[in-house]
Chains A and B, each alone.
Chain A
């Protein structure tokens, strides 16, 4: 398959504490809505940023006082779109409430090229952000236009340059398999960006999530997704390119130079505890998963009225917790699921619970099973959803 073995080597460090907790803060506003996006994002034209930040801080006081998280992620939406005064206030107050600036070894914030000015970079920096994740997606002007992205390719490269100068770590987000895009144009985008040596890439196949403009068009028969065979070729070609540039393929769509994965995300793939703040944010703590109200103004009024904006609460039974460990853990080909850890967390031994399924999947060449861990093979990674379906418990909650 031409996939280098090096990508299957685990990282030589593990700064994540098993008992530690992460903090996720959702900043939901964007300059425009991208046609493929199903995140909880809202166009900012009527946004009241001050009120939103007030609500997040209020929620933080209720849920995260003295939290001392080991990682923090400011996601969106577009955090860099928020006014600098509001961002400064958020960072300062949140530090007072949670102590994150001293407790966290990794503090990530997302940014989009059109709003990541010198000023914003400096505000991020004052907030002790040490990792910036830049949503570039493509450098092709026609694609940026067609998918309603709000920036040009020049702006993207300028922003990347800025990040490289100010921050110790940097991620670039890219999307491929836009129907009709010539594979070479995507590869040349990657090569251009690789010249800046960002230490991390997230490279996603364009996906058709429920409710997006693109999915509606596809379902109405007005849009043909890229041919699945070509998508597979692109998936493998992307791995090949990053392998050639010494990046480790540590998750389905994520690539990192040595020991610089996004540890916050590694924590979620290990299903470690995380507190979520903001509209639509999801938290997972002590066996309970909670999701907040999605619409920012409704989230704000719920927080101001009753100090909480929980929309859904799930207490999965142990079989489901075990499944979730597999669903998330198997996404990391070199790490997989630790059998000892799974049993410690759920009281269930996966070798017994998934006895037949594991034998079958092993025989099909999709899984590697050792007494310590269960991992996907390169073929199993390609068919991960098929693999996961065989582990599904009958009733999830």
Chain B
């Protein structure tokens, strides 16, 4: 691969798609036909480099790769930036799109337009990017391109005749996509002779080499040995290595305008690299920073605590390391009576939260306890000020505020026509406000509702899936805060308030929620030698109660000569399990119980 391509022969683009519409397969196919990897080398879905991504079959983190390919007799450099497809990761998609001039909008030719198809396409169109619609999986017998063209016109106002068709699986039509990328997506603009301006769109921590920074060069160029200046972070480093991904890292002496690649400067301070920051050269005239990314707005918060209290500092470093590569995570220290010292962490959504927890455990080998998630609330204080809280425990005394506001999201739900009834009911049950119903095609409908985000983060998505036989998809816009009749429900275990278990909920739902939580707790908390009363209270009023009766029998029925070692080990294991429990007063509570407030089952 030659070092330098003139900008007119570079194309920076993304593939945007709903989850499972074949994005990673298409990316693999691009790698193959451009000769970046041979078929023999091909692992499935090269671009999903995190174990977790491959296991879950989803893309979480954006990833970049540079390919060269001949179109119409000319050699072009394609920088393909992969994007995630899940609702939680709209922020990641936005970051990836900033480094591109255009996008391939990939749509499953059998499933049609899905909620994330709409959401991601809107993100691209809002940035005035060229969008090339491509129908994938055309080899499927039940592909229905004509119907989907209707949906495309109705939802995104895209021209039906601009649509390409392919099968990433067989390779049919893939070459044609690259030709259209060259023809339709504009080459990068930017001045090769201007001072360097490069956008950090991703970063990864490498144990041996420090932080690997992913860059898109917007103006000028950079060479090995240059001293760079991160404008936002105010940090300076000498460039030790530059390179491109094709798909593995390949060292290059420099990167120039329009190109995408990586920079290694032996950076160890995590705070020095901020995704969205602008990189320039230390010497030379000062430059305007590029328009940075919008700050992420975490909409789901939960407490994360180390299982053993000595691990608090390790947890802090682990969270910092994750934040480097996922700047959307926010965290602040907090403490709980039962759980000790930990962090209140903010996430983009529930899946994001789950993934961060898994990554924490996997990448740092830490055992953590997570409390039930909550949305942020705005509290209008009697003083006239507004306070944003991220945990029910932070809610001030009722005398100190006049109003609680909760996040409301306008939600677009795409469902088959026959599932309209159950989904309407689901939305009503979740305190929704119906806005409109639009027919995308003969048998698919988009429902639009205003829903409290707090109602969505429980099991709304599961209920949507089961209510539509798996065909329903959803997406929601940015939340806004609206006043609501919300109360804090406290949970008392053996007459002691369990701060980690309290929850903010709608006054009308308090009793139902209280009952469900206590029922769940009764199952999770083992019997003790004394009776344990459980209560759910709003203010001084008890909304629900349950009792865990005293343990009065705990004896192994059978124990003979052959059982001695095994029975002893069993007792040891039980004792070990007890040690890992957390105490609320004199009650030992297993970690799982702290998620009891998640339950909505009657």
User: Interface residues, chain A, CB within 8 Å of chain B?
Assistant: 24, 40, 204-205, 207, 228-229, 231-232, 235, 252-253, 265, 268, 271, 274, 276, 280-282, 284, 289, 291, 312, 314, 320, 323-324, 327-328, 331, 364, 379, 381-386, 388-389, 392, 396
Contact = CB atoms under 8 A, between A and B. Distances in A.
Contact of A384 (B527, B555, B564): B555
Contacts, number: 91
Nearest to B567: A327
A280 B562 contact: yes
B558 interface: yes
B558 to A, nearest CB: 6
Contacts of A40: 562
Contacts of A379: 552
Interface in B569-591: 569, 571-572, 574-575, 578
Contact of B571 (A207, A271, A312, A385): A385
Given A268-B560, A328-B559, A382 B571 contact: no
A385 B562 contact: no
Given A204-B557, A284-B561, A383 B571 contact: no
A281 B560 CA distance: 11
Interface string B204-227: 000000000000000000000000
Contact of B569 (A382, A383, A385, A396): A396
B530 to A, nearest CB: 11
A327 B561 contact: no
B552 A232 contact: yes
Interface string B295-314: 00000000000000000000
A323 B569 CA distance: 12
B428 interface: no
Given A265-B560, A392-B575, A289 B565 contact: yes
Given A289-B564, A328-B564, A389-B575, A382 B554 contact: yes
Contacts of B572: 392, 396
Contact of B553 (A231, A276, A282): A231
Contacts of B72: none
Contacts of B554: 382-386
Contacts of B549: 229
Contacts of B557: 204-205, 207, 252-253
B551 interface: yes
17 contacts: A228-B553, A265-B560, A268-B561, A282-B564, A284-B564, A291-B562, A291-B565, A327-B559, A382-B554, A383-B551, A383-B555, A384-B555, A384-B556, A385-B556, A386-B551, A396-B568, A396-B569
Contacts of B560: 265, 268
Contacts of B552: 232, 379, 382-383
Contacts of A252: 555-557, 559
Contacts of A364: 529
Give 8 nearest A-B pairs by CB, closest first: A268-B561, A282-B562, A384-B555, A232-B553, A204-B557, A205-B557, A382-B553, A385-B554
Nearest to A388: B571
Interface string B516-530: 000000000001010
B454 to A, nearest CB: 28
Interface centre among B551, B569, B578 (most CB of A within 10 A): B551
A228 B529 CA distance: 14
Contacts of B561: 24, 268, 274, 276, 282, 284
Contacts of A331: 559
A392 B553 contact: no
Contact of A235 (B553, B569, B578): B553
B568 A389 contact: no
Nearest to B549: A229
Contacts of A282: 561-562, 564-565
Interface in B66-103: none
Given A268-B561, A281-B562, A320 B553 contact: no
B579 to A, nearest CB: 11
A383 B575 contact: no
B529 A327 contact: no
A392 B571 contact: yes
Contacts of B565: 282, 289, 291, 312, 314
